[in-house]
């Protein structure tokens, strides 16, 4: 800790922008990780099986109740599709697609923003190293040590950003697959079509 602290307390002119970008990125990361976790609160496969089974047997009221009892993306999609006053396959598919669009694109954009914050951190660290190297005219070793401080600070802040971005991206892809699977099977059940299984996703 005594080695890391000078990176932030005496890291040169660009240490403040590095810290600001890092804090903003971490706040966004925490918010997005919490959001994706809150939208995936149900176990996808058992929930899908139960709702689709109810819909296929004609018990749409019970299927609606099951969806209403959960605060999750799958449940929201189920509510929208089940409440649609149409038995036509194409109409239900369009409704399911529109509901999915309202969920996934914002989450995918957030992944791009998280990646952008990580790249900004690394670039600011490099610029800070160049600025520090020019600012310190003492011995070579002292100048290099001073130049490495913003790089160290940027890398330290970028580490959780890289890991967190990978987690959010993986969970977003998993949620997309669950929504696609659920929508296809629910629409098929409501229109008396064959059970469509796009994959066993948990």
Q: Closest Cα partner for 190 from 51, 94, 10?
A: 51
Contacts of residue 160, defined as CB under 8 A and 6 or more positions apart, other chains included, come to: 26, 29
Reading the chain (202 residues) residue by residue, the pLDDT tens digits are: 567 787 788 888 899 999 999 999 999 999 988 888 887 778 888 999 999 999 988 898 999 999 999 888 899 999 999 999 877 889 999 999 988 888 777 778 888 899 999 999 999 999 999 888 887 765 577 788 888 999 999 999 999 999 999 999 998 888 888 999 999 999 999 988 777 665 444 4
* Domain boundary assignment for the chain: 15-190
pTM greater than 0.85 (yes/no): no
Contacts of residue 158, defined as CB under 8 A and 6 or more positions apart, other chains included, come to: 22, 118, 121, 122, 125
């Amino acid at each position: 800790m005594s080695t890391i602290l000078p990176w932030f307390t005496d890291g040169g002119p660009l240490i403040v922008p590095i810290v600001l970008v890092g804090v903003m990125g971490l706040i966004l990361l925490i918010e997005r990780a919490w959001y994706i976790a809150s939208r995936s609160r149900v176990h996808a496969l058992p929930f899908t099986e139960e709702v689709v089974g109810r819909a296929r047997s004609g018990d749409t009221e019970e299927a609606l109740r099951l969806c209403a009892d959960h605060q999750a993306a799958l449940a929201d999609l189920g509510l929208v599709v089940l409440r649609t006053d149409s038995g036509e396959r194409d109409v239900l598919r369009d409704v399911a697609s529109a509901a999915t669009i309202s969920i996934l694109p914002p989450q995918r954009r957030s992944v791009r923003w998280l990646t952008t914050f990580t790249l900004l951190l690394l670039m600011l660290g490099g610029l800070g190293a160049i600025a520090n190297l020019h600012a310190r005219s003492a011995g070579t070793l002292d100048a290099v040590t001073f130049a490495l401080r913003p790089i160290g600070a940027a890398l330290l802040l970028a580490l959780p950003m890289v890991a967190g971005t990978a987690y959010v991206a993986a969970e977003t892809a998993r949620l997309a697959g669950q929504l696609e699977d659920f929508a296809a099977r629910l629409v098929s059940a409501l229109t008396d079509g064959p059970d469509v299984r796009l994959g066993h996703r948990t």
